[in-house]
Amino acid sequence: MIKAILIIASLNGGGDYVAKMPDMQTCLDVRMLITEQNSTLKTLCIPREDDTVNLKTLFNEFTSMVREMKEIETDHEDINK
């Protein structure tokens, strides 16, 4: 599922407002509602990655590295015997 961030910027320098949305379709729906209420506001939906996916990938890479190091250590011990 693609998650999204909705950024709303006012032309008169009112600043930015950011809202996290559960998915892109929800973001686009809310964007239309905001534009209908005030056409001077600029809205933008930006997809964002799920942090848990990145964490799982990082953990898997770390686990693979540890296994590889253990194999190298075992091979090295076998050579020295």
Q: Tell me the domain boundaries of the chain.
A: 1-48, 50-81
Return all residues near 68 (Cβ < 8 A) that are at least 6 apart.
none
Four-residue CA torsion sign, 36, 5, 18, 9: negative
- Whole-model pTM above 0.95? no
Q: What is the pLDDT of residues 29-75, one digit of tens each?
A: 999 998 899 888 888 898 877 667 778 888 899 999 999 999 988 88
H-assigned helices in the chain: 24-37, 51-80
Q: Residue 55: its pLDDT value, please? A: 82
